[in-house]
Structure 1
Amino acid sequence: MSEPRRLHAIPGGRTEPPRRQPEQPEPLWREVLGGRLRTLRREQRETLAETAERAGISPQYLSEVERGRKEPSSEMIAALAGALGTSLGALTEQVAQDLRTLRRPAPAARPGAAHVPMLRAA
């Protein structure tokens, strides 16, 4: 038999179901992409300048991409993938896997945990 829904009192005598814990925001694509590019570059023991030169961009721009500060175009991502010896498809698959790994579901509410009612403006 399923557990009955618990309702919580709110001002005005009304009741509402308990609120779910907010989920952690998912990481941004550009942040995960940047981390993956940095990992690939470091695995090859290359400097920012070496990789940037082959990709046709400045080392400063590559640094910003790696830190997730810039959103590179698809052409730029393809150039960076090629400069790092991989394909756009393989890089995209790696980033997608990283996103799946980094995404964490919100912790479930502990049974018996106190619920703090939220006050709502009228």
Structure 2
Amino acid sequence: MPLIQVDLPRDLFEASHEAIGNAIHDAQIEALGIPANDRFQVFRPHEKGELKFDPTYNDVDRRSLLLIHVTAVHMYPVAVKQAFFRTVVDKLEPLGIRREDVLICLAENGFEDWWAGR
């Protein structure tokens, strides 16, 4: 049950949050193999100036920031996580979101760290 938290500019949230959520969820299904009904997403839109980032960090031409924080149970090999990252940006690109403007962090913990209704 990955938990997805998305920080993004308010104008992008208002224009595309449903499509962004679908793209991320579809990438989870495709790359991580999660069930289709395992969707838990929190969107946090930000006003201009609230998202701070270096536009050239790691030699990337960054113009905006879409931050995706994934919390998941530790069970995915490195190759699977890397495939997930690529799949997310591939699915966001048709929405006009540049891959250079996406930052994804996948943090893992144990099954004992979750409560999911039972």
TM-score (norm 2): 0.32
Bigger radius of gyration among the two: 1
TM-score (norm 1): 0.31
More strand by share: 2
